[in-house]
């Protein structure tokens, strides 16, 4: 893990009628990862996309595909998304009682394994599973829809998780997702996050502005 700030544009906020082109443009604009939210309409109240779309989008970028499974159950989706071209698969700690077997399964496929927690979930639940994680994703909004306001009370959680990671000795990226913009990105970086997921902040502007938006998020790092 590098403490250099990585920017992962979330295609949930992109124009779905031209997703491939949107990915191509943010790739050239300096995106480090491409963040892909997968929602099943059960675990969260929204539906997004499946493995076929991810597979079709793979040709538009060689950057890591950061797939966030907001599904319950998620076990049946790990292999299909791995085969579709995911490089990182993140599952939710709230979705199943024992995520360790799924984290191991993700790693066994040669991918990085991530765990995500909702705003109301205590970070203490992460302690027993840190050694199985390559990434921890802190939701700074309630998951389900893009364009929500950042929840500042999550900053303490980010700080606590950064301390947990540092004390563990494991190399784990700390990612944040939800309401990330020029101002909140600074707060998250200071709290210890090194991967910023941003959707609306980037994609609500014109494609010609994506480069500036990504630079704005990366500043002061």
Looking at per-residue pLDDT, the higher value among 74 and 2 belongs to 74
- 89-129 pLDDT per residue, tens: 999 998 888 899 999 999 999 999 999 999 999 999 999 99
Residue 220 binned pLDDT confidence (cut-offs 50, 70, 90): low
- Cα 180–Cα 163–Cα 195 angle in degrees, nearest 5: 30
The catalytically annotated residue of 32, 66, 177, 216 is: 177
pTM comes to 0.93
Give yes or no for a contact between 194 and 218, defined as CB atoms under 8 angstroms apart: no
Quick check: is 37 catalytic? yes
- 160-189 pLDDT per residue, tens: 999 999 999 999 999 999 999 999 999 999
The catalytically annotated residue of 32, 37, 134, 173 is: 37
Measured CA to CA, the distance from residue 129 to residue 125 in angstroms comes to 8
User: How many C-beta neighbours within 10 Å does residue 179 have?
Assistant: 23
At 192, is the secondary structure helix, strand, or coil?
A: coil
Dihedral angle at the C-alpha atoms of 153, 154, 156, 157, nearest 10 degrees?
Answer: 150
Name the class of domain 6-218. Answer: alpha beta
Q: What is the DSSP string of 42-78?
A: SSSS-B---HHHHHHHGGG--SPEEEEEE-SS-HHHH
Distance of CA 213 to the CA centre of its chain: 18
Quick check: is 27 catalytic? no
């Amino acid at each position: 893990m590098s403490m250099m700030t990585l920017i992962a544009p979330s295609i949930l906020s992109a124009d779905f009628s031209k997703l491939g082109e949107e990915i191509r443009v943010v790739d050239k604009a300096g995106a480090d990862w491409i963040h892909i939210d997968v929602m099943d309409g059960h675990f969260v109240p929204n539906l997004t996309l499946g493995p076929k779309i991810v597979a079709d989008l793979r040709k538009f970028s060689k950057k890591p595909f950061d797939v966030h499974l907001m599904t319950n159950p998620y076990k049946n989706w790990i292999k299909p998304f791995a085969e579709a071209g995911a490089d990182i698969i993140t599952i939710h700690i709230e979705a199943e009682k024992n995520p360790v077997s799924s984290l191991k399964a993700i790693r066994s496929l040669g991918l990085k394994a991530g765990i995500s927690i909702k705003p109301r979930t205590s970070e203490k639940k992460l302690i027993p599973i840190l050694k199985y994680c390559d990434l921890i994703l802190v939701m700074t909004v309630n998951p389900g829809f893009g364009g929500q306001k950042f929840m500042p009370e999550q900053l303490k959680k980010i700080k606590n998780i950064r301390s947990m990671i540092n004390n563990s000795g494991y190399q784990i990226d700390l990612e944040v997702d939800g309401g990330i913009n020029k101002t909140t990105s600074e707060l998250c970086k200071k709290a210890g996050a090194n991967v910023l997921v941003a959707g609306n902040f980037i994609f609500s502007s014109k494609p010609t502005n994506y480069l500036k938006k990504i630079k704005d998020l990366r500043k002061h790092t």
